[in-house]
Structure 1
């Protein structure tokens, strides 16, 4: 599918004057109560609700947005990455709406405007990785299905959200019609072999340091200038837009993991890579891999792909050798083929899979 991308030379102006007003006209913000979903998963609810942003394709089309397809294709549930937030995906939501998809994006627990279990605005802590999975599945089964309105329900997720999404696909094989995993955290990059990281982090948590910040990680400083050298090769316009969103909202300033988050990320990885779990997937998957990824392990993505395929399900891996972890933050030369590939996959006849 041909996609008209936003121009990078006037990106901020287009976002402010065209994209954001159009998104606001079809946006409903709400709170999802995960209590029932967590209890069904055998978890004790921690309390609090999760913030979400839902964009209605029919309302978007009614605004007569240029290039809108005016043909409703279903709903995409969006699952963001570690220390991210739903609003970061404004541009991707714009493209999805133009193509005829409603979008429901949740702030995962401990992120954005959702419930938190720590007083540190920058730290992310979670007691059990299964809570993320129960929350996303419950959200998709209710709010997502509501916006799908009888049409297909799809999953688009990035990084941590991709690891959570993979677990949802394993535990709820009939929930989504198709899934896109973008640089998924099948296993996190810890700076050391996972066989060493697991017992070390487990020991630190056992010593009562689970809520402590991982060594070397700092708070987000909204007064510090953006260092574009942190992401060499990314789109400067997109990086500046993400940075401004984070600086302008204290809820968006999550920036560092607690040891317990790392422990649970490693447990999630082990569960997702279990051969019997991979074999249980039925949803067709498109997995994107970033050649210059420093946040997640590509080798784990390769094993996941092999095991899902070995279990008899359709999975296609697309690798962008020159892309950083966030493919959606790259210049148009990479973003264009990425977005087009997503739509080609979602619209491909089932018989062709």
Structure 2
């Protein structure tokens, strides 16, 4: 189904983007709290919060591969203006968190489940002590996989969830699909240390005109410039191990979907070339077959980065997200 934003939502506008980012978004960012906690195997995992806007309700943003919470300042501003406290982490191996390989730009993880364990530690040590009445989750891409597995493993912790272009399947050429995972396993065994999967390279800024992520040039250039200003955030291609771990985790997120009890809104870009949109149907069907609440909304024409798209796609995504959370909200205490 398609979604049109109600008139009362007021999100950031492309036409005022530069002024908004340099003004109110930057001002809000100055009031953030940041910290580190110890994740699995003593890995330092970075987190950020923007609090004081709602004593009862918080949104946990779970970002994707190669991303950092620094990239999501505009989103945090929009969510805060809707009256929510906001929390986010940088997954192990990326952002401000400890890297998992000697090459700091290699996207690597030893076990995909470590992402879920780190998120649980974050919830237990940073968020839960705040005493919120309700917790909502917004996961994007790989963060959608992590969120899906978290929701299945800890069904009582999250009241409502939105998955933005979740990685329930990776877009792989049809002839490669059967061999992608075993090939990545073989390549990993041949490598003396974690290294890039075949065809993957260190970070480089793809030109806007050739990018599969977003059709919004001003947002796209902003986050590319952010990575130049903070080169420690740069992450390139995934390791061979990440590839087969990611494929397995995507499949597992569908297998475990019936265990999810929170209502889920799954947002899909019809022009997404990064993930396998067909896997979203399998995920929702698995939830619905178990009498769970999963709604799939397709944003026609949108690419993978739904939260960084042009306004005509991004605004319906944000409005659908807020509306979905509103349905699960309890009256404030």
Report the TM-score when normalising by structure 1. Answer: 0.86
Determine if contact 1:180/1:285 at 8 Å carries over to the other structure.
Answer: yes
Change (3 A) 1:166 1:209: farther
Separation in structure 2 between the aligned mates of residue 266 and residue 303 of structure 1, nearest angstrom:
15
Equivalent residue number for residue 238 of structure 1? 219
Determine if contact 2:138/2:162 at 8 Å carries over to the other structure.
Answer: yes
Q: Does 1:109 align with 2:92?
A: yes
Equivalent residue number for residue 190 of structure 1? 172
Name the SS of the counterpart of 1:257 in structure 2: coil
Change (3 A) 1:294 1:11: same
Equivalent residue number for residue 41 of structure 1? none
Change (3 A) 1:232 1:137: closer
Change (3 A) 1:198 1:226: closer
Separation in structure 2 between the aligned mates of residue 102 and residue 237 of structure 1, nearest angstrom:
27
Name the SS of the counterpart of 1:241 in structure 2: helix
After TM superposition, the structure 1 stretch with the greater mean CA deviation from structure 2, 224-233 or 339-348, is: 224-233
Q: CA deviation at 1:186?
A: 0.8
Determine if contact 1:74/1:101 at 8 Å carries over to the other structure.
Answer: yes
Q: Does 1:6 align with 2:12?
A: yes
Change (3 A) 1:350 1:18: closer
Equivalent residue number for residue 274 of structure 2? 295
Determine if contact 1:121/1:250 at 8 Å carries over to the other structure.
Answer: no
CA RMSD of aligned residues (A): 2.0
Structure 1: gaps spanning 5 or more residues = 39-44, 59-70
Residues 209-255 of structure 1, C-alpha deviation per residue, up to 9 Å, x if partnerless? Answer: 6712122323224xx68433324861111111111111111221102
Change (3 A) 1:161 1:18: same
Q: CA deviation at 1:126?
A: 0.6
Name the SS of the counterpart of 2:157 in structure 1: coil
Determine if contact 1:141/1:175 at 8 Å carries over to the other structure.
Answer: no
Name the SS of the counterpart of 1:123 in structure 2: coil
2:210 to 229, 235, 250: 229
Determine if contact 1:226/1:243 at 8 Å carries over to the other structure.
Answer: no
Equivalent residue number for residue 32 of structure 1? 37
Separation in structure 1 between the aligned mates of residue 319 and residue 96 of structure 2, nearest angstrom:
31
Separation in structure 1 between the aligned mates of residue 76 and residue 46 of structure 2, nearest angstrom:
17
Equivalent residue number for residue 21 of structure 1? 27
Equivalent residue number for residue 284 of structure 2? 305
Separation in structure 2 between the aligned mates of residue 161 and residue 331 of structure 1, nearest angstrom:
21
2:45 to 43, 47, 50: 50
Equivalent residue number for residue 156 of structure 1? 138
Separation in structure 2 between the aligned mates of residue 233 and residue 112 of structure 1, nearest angstrom:
20
Determine if contact 1:183/1:325 at 8 Å carries over to the other structure.
Answer: yes
Q: Does 1:325 align with 2:304?
A: yes
Change (3 A) 1:132 1:80: same
Structure 2: gaps spanning 5 or more residues = 1-5
Equivalent residue number for residue 83 of structure 2? 100
Separation in structure 2 between the aligned mates of residue 217 and residue 205 of structure 1, nearest angstrom:
13
Separation in structure 1 between the aligned mates of residue 24 and residue 214 of structure 2, nearest angstrom:
26
Separation in structure 2 between the aligned mates of residue 330 and residue 137 of structure 1, nearest angstrom:
30
Q: How many residue pairs were aligned?
A: 323
Q: Which has the higher contact order (CA 8 A, sep 6+)?
A: 2
Within-5 A mapping of 1:163-174: 163-174=145-156
Q: Does 1:122 align with 2:101?
A: no
Change (3 A) 1:296 1:209: farther
Q: CA deviation at 1:349?
A: 4.8
Determine if contact 1:72/1:100 at 8 Å carries over to the other structure.
Answer: no
Separation in structure 2 between the aligned mates of residue 335 and residue 129 of structure 1, nearest angstrom:
29
Determine if contact 1:292/1:323 at 8 Å carries over to the other structure.
Answer: yes
Q: Does 1:315 align with 2:294?
A: yes
Name the SS of the counterpart of 1:57 in structure 2: coil
Separation in structure 1 between the aligned mates of residue 209 and residue 10 of structure 2, nearest angstrom:
26
Determine if contact 1:73/1:100 at 8 Å carries over to the other structure.
Answer: no
